């Protein structure tokens, strides 16, 4: 997987968050996991929580064109309402 320097990380996160925030229904995007707690390694994945009202347009996530798997809301059980495992520019990204 790709390891980004701090400047590239900033650009990567800014671009991705702008894309995710533009998905119909999304009201907020939050950083989570080890990156949010400061316990990550240089090659750790990036975890983002997508908060939405009503429903989320899963096809819009798929249309971003990133490699990986997108799971419909309700398909992972009752504790996590769908999500995705993606590779974005060589970087692992989880959406919850």
CA-to-CA distance for 74 and 10, rounded, in angstroms?
32
pLDDT at 81 exceeding the cut of 80: no
The confidence score (pLDDT) of residue 53 equals 93
Residue that wins the pLDDT comparison between 74 and 41: 41
CB atoms closer than 10 angstroms to residue 37: 9
pLDDT in tens, 1-49: 788 888 999 999 999 999 999 999 999 999 999 999 999 999 999 999 9
Map out the domains of the chain with their CATH numbers. Answer: 6-95 (3.30.460.10)
What length does the chain have? 96
Locate tokens 């990986």: which residue?
Answer: 68
Predicted pLDDT at 6: 87
Q: What's residue 38's pLDDT? A: 95
pTM listed for this prediction: 0.90
């Amino acid at each position: 997987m790709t390891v980004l320097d701090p400047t590239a990380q900033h650009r990567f996160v800014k671009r991705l968050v702008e894309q995710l925030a533009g998905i119909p229904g999304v009201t907020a995007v939050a950083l989570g996991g080890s990156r949010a707690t400061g316990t990550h390694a240089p090659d750790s994945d990036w975890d983002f929580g997508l908060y939405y009202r009503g429903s989320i347009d899963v096809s819009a996530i798929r249309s971003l064109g990133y490699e990986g798997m997108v799971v419909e809301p309700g398909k992972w059980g009752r504790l996590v309402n769908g999500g995705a495992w993606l590779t974005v520019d060589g970087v692992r990204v989880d959406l919850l």
